[in-house]
Structure 1
């Protein structure tokens, strides 16, 4: 195999399109494809090597968890949970976290046996890890069922992007806040023609639109009034990269992800939204400003055109629509990982015109 076959000719100014890569039946194209496949297979078969200082030793237990005897590194900011056994603090990883570190080459996993269990129970003082059977990547993949494999694809994809991930544990750390739901008119029609247009003159579209509001709207958090049964569950809590992240005091997740094979029905959506963690609403408090800043802001407001003010109102309206309610992200594995965001929008409290 010649390395020149895989080099790009930068000076070549010829433009290619999709038709240039369709099979043409020539031996030249077939040889290029065969050489590319051989190169890919050789790269996959290469042994993953890592520095000894970055390598962690773990023991896979019957509980389908991996115990880390000496945790080190920055992986455990969001990975695993700590537990004390016989005065020693250990970190336990689930299968997804274990497979991710194993695939990265940062974790060596051994299969636990009865002697190692005696060591954890305190019956044996010393234990040699080299006596255990080492598990490779193929072994660990065999421990995953089809649903776990899809979860791992989403899990690994988000971790590579830098997100912090924990499996959804219900509303254990964040009890749902109580929201007061206002009373609204649920009537379908409002006597438009008898009380509206016949005895009143209108000089703007806003009043007309208000009179034409004949379809009832649902308020945000209205689904909390009813318990919806559904087979759909939230699988992951996801946070954006941050320095002050702590497993002991988990912040409110930035995203909550549900693995799906098909699009949920409306009752399933309500059930998912009822499981979403949403912080309590805070009163709008504007920061204090001095007189100089106030004068500068007034001057800038005078210089703004009507079009600029309209754009600001539209941005403020869109922000309220997107952030006043709850949202959940659906993840579907189909020729890659695809995400769909479902959000509830309060059209009752936000004016669109």
Structure 2
């Protein structure tokens, strides 16, 4: 055999070996794919919704849904079994413990309608209701908003009171005395009174439905809400003191009197033209703005057009909140139903809302509130906002002291110009869809809240928005 024949045989042998290795690899890959496919096909979570998991205490994991039946007996039997289990889970009796059952009786008086809670149970009344005494009974009084909110979330069962129940409330003390101090005398509410459904409770609302929707939405988020009480002197405040307007005929005659010298050719310029007075040249914008005088003359407003009031006082969740002596509200909110009127609030209406705002807490009150706040080390993960604030503080700490003071100065000053001192939240509701808008008045004239701190940083500087050279 020649060398060429030997080389051709060896090359063919190598090719055959490579082909065998490739075939073996392909067979192995096919086997692995088959195993992977069988695992996917027979995955229990991906087949159907198994309602048997409802009978367990843990929440089941959800798999991919079946988009269409395949017609197999296996799938049909599994669906029937799961459907039967679903009906069994739905037919189970759902209830609560009798010791945690909260019952309220809707009372109708001559002057008021409210829900009376004879036995207080649960932690709902830290910020809800008012204490009330009826006869010898001490309970809690809920308004229509609070009643519907607790009933809607399934925490309260409301019954309609009648004359028999009212007589029992006011005369129960005499009955107990006649029976030698027997304190087991009680009124069977469930058998003698009628339970009210949500449809009837919604009809009890004495305020617009949009107000309740905003109230329930904020309560579910954890905020503390109380209704705003309109003060009697609000109408007086909306009438801003101003000088009486002059007669237009007298004003017209006065203008004509000042213009007659020019009409007769006595003066080349009008009577009050600047050329008749000493002129001044300005070389800096600061001097220009200093000589510009703002007109602080009060503006008249018609209270008849401002038929709008603040609806709710809102506080952030706080364990130390007291409904008897509440602190100044964190937010004050006005509900506007745009489904009835799409026009935005007019200027007199916005002014009326700002007149109704509660005064901001003083520095002493803020210090007292900070003393009562207990700071506990939080075990929660940092949010993105906290991370950005921490990184910003770290960057500021690395800067020079003068730069830190300068950044603090502009941050405090510009924040007053942008956000102002006080703000009112407008909740716009359109057929259940809620949007919240914050309206605030910018403090361009006086920076009362941060003026002391600004003077500490730059004592001899005018704190204004103009450019100081």
TM-score (norm 1): 0.67
More helix by share: 2
Aligned-partner Cα distance in 1 for 2:355–2:402: 43
Call closer, same or farther: CA 1:49–1:197 in 2, change over 3 Å.
farther
1:114 aligns with 2:163: yes
Structure 2 stretches lacking a partner, 5+ long = 1-46, 51-60, 69-86, 176-185, 238-272, 338-342, 368-396, 448-463
Relative contact order higher in (CA < 8 Å, ≥ 6 apart): 1
TM-score (norm 2): 0.52
Question: In the alignment, which of 412, 429, 446 is matched to residue 316 of structure 1?
Answer: 412
1:343 aligns with 2:440: yes
Q: Is this contact kept in 2: 1:55–1:105, CA < 8 A?
A: no
Deviation, 1:348, is 1.3
Aligned-partner Cα distance in 2 for 1:268–1:84: 39
Q: Which residue is 1:24 aligned to?
A: none
Aligned-partner Cα distance in 1 for 2:437–2:154: 32
Structure 1 stretches lacking a partner, 5+ long = 11-26, 29-41, 179-190, 287-299
Q: Which residue is 1:154 aligned to?
A: 214
Call closer, same or farther: CA 1:51–1:151 in 2, change over 3 Å.
farther
Note the alpha carbon deviations across 1:185-215, whole angstroms, 9 max, x for none: xxxxxx999999953433xx5444445x466
Deviation, 1:134, is 0.9
Q: Which residue is 1:235 aligned to?
A: 311
Q: Which residue is 1:352 aligned to?
A: 465
Call closer, same or farther: CA 1:283–1:348 in 2, change over 3 Å.
farther
1:84-99 paired onto structure 2 within 5 Å? 84-99=133-148
1:77-226 paired onto structure 2 within 5 Å? 77-122=126-171, 125=175, 126-130=186-190, 131-144=192-205, 147-171=207-231, 198-202=280-284, 205-211=285-291, 213=292, 216=295
> Which is further off, 117-126 or 238-247?
117-126
Q: Is this contact kept in 2: 1:217–1:347, CA < 8 A?
A: no
Structure with bigger gyration radius: 2
Question: In the alignment, which of 57, 80, 84 is matched to residue 103 of structure 2?
Answer: 57
Aligned-partner Cα distance in 1 for 2:436–2:407: 29
Q: Cα RMSD (Å) of the superposition?
A: 4.2
Deviation, 1:74, is 1.6
Deviation, 1:277, is 1.0
Deviation, 1:77, is 1.3
Question: In the alignment, which of 318, 322, 333 is matched to residue 429 of structure 2?
Answer: 333
